[in-house]
Amino acid sequence: MPTTELFGERGFRSRMLRVEEGRLLRSGNKELAMEGRRGMRWTGVAVMVGALSLVGGEAWAQTAPGAPTAPQSPPAAATAPAAPLSESLTGMARAEHGAAVALFKDGDFAGALERYEKAYELSRDHRLLWSVALCQKNLRHYAGLLTTLQRLEQDAGAKLSEDDRKDLADLRSTAESLVSRIELAVSEAGATVLIDDVPMGTTPLPKPLAVELGERRLQITKPGFKAFSRTLRVEGGSRIGLAATLERDVRRGTLLVQAAPDDLISVDGKLVGRGRWEGPVTSGPHALRVSATGKETHEAEVLVREGELRRVDVGLNKASASSGRLWWWLGGGAALLAGAVLTGALLYEPGTPAERGTLGTIPLSFGGR
């Protein structure tokens, strides 16, 4: 029976330690391999004893005592081992790797993970990804571990041996049982998806999200929309389908206008009521107009804040006779001025020369003369 099935996550962690120790030794990271071995002695000893007692005991029981063993074939020619990372890396990549090893030894796996990632970005040495995976295992970031294994397989390519590929397949298969896949259908494109406040991508997502075991907080955000939030209980090894509809985040307030019973009330150029009106409006400035026959019109800009009830009391004044005469004189004067301009334009046409001549005399008679 596989160790993972016997001991669940603890079995996977001990198995990961064993695989990683061998991988790190083969990849030239002896310092980190020895540190992992010391951790395995303390954290995985019970699992190792149980696995060996069940699996190993069953194997021993099937082997007859004294049975002759088959002759072993001569070992293949050993290839030259790669230089340790502490020697092959140069410059800032070497410095980042040294800092990562020190942080790992101190148990700061999050800090070590960050430094290993930086060393990998600077050097592109795929062996560092095994160290990244080991840090993610210790942090129980199994979804990130799966991503790292995929990166390792893609970046290393032909450099991976058959043993490497077998280790990758075994680790991937075991880690998959400790995560669930979330398939999201979101109403809006371009929304940011977060798991436990960590951005996972924007909608539409290219593939389902891998999420670790436990209680996880899902958030979907987009400017101008209300945030979508759900708490998910992830059991592992399953698929979760979820549809999310984002609602527009319209910030509103309330406007209340009180006027005389027959006064007409308009807001933003639209007639909304008579005498009294109350209704929701978007936050910001609005154009208010109150009018009535025989009264002076009231026009003003009213600012309504989010969540505020803004009340405006309007009392219209009667249109006075003097104001009516004033408007008549202003209107009449404007009409006379326009008529004078038009008459002058008709009497004088540009380009027509004025006729020249003399004025004649008209005799006047006074007293019959």
Contacts (Cβ under 8 Å, ≥6 apart) of 145 = 133, 136, 137, 171, 175
Going by C-alpha positions, the residue among 125, 176, 177 that lies closest to residue 151 is 125
Give pLDDT, residue 4: 35
Domain boundary among 187, 221, 244: 244
Q: Are residues 33 and 120 in the same domain?
A: yes
- Residue 76 lies inside a defined structural domain of this protein: no
Q: 203 lies in which domain range?
A: 179-244
Give the total number of structural domains in the chain.
3
Task: Judge whether 156 lies within some domain.
Answer: yes
Per-residue pLDDT tens digits for 193-212 = 999 999 999 999 999 999 98
Both 131 and 43 in one domain: the answer is: yes
233 and 270 fall within a common domain: no
- The pLDDT assigned to 7 comes to 35
Edge-to-edge strand ranges of the sheet holding 298-304: 270-274, 264-267, 284-291, 298-304
Q: Where are the alpha helices (DSSP H) in the chain?
A: 3-27, 30-43, 45-51, 57-62, 85-88, 91-105, 109-123, 128-138, 142-156, 162-176, 321-347
- pLDDT averaged over 10-residue windows placed end to end, the chain, 369 residues: 39 55 53 48 36 36 43 49 83 95 95 96 93 92 91 89 89 88 94 94 93 92 94 88 92 94 95 95 94 94 93 91 52 52 46 48 49
Q: Are residues 122 and 185 in the same domain?
A: no
- Cα 170 to chain centroid distance, Å, stands at 33
292-323, pLDDT tens digit by residue? 999 999 999 999 998 899 999 999 999 876 55
Residues 208 and 236 in one domain: yes
Indicate which CATH number applies to the domain containing 31. 1.25.40
- Whether 11 and 151 map to the same domain: the answer is yes
Q: Are 318 and 287 in contact (CB under 8 A)?
A: no
CA pair distance 102, 121, nearest whole angstrom? 19
Determine, yes or no, domain membership for 25.
yes
Predicted structure pTM score: 0.51
In a domain, 306, yes or no: yes
Whether residue 51 is found in the same domain as residue 118: yes
Specify the CATH number for the domain of residue 270. Answer: 2.60.40.1120
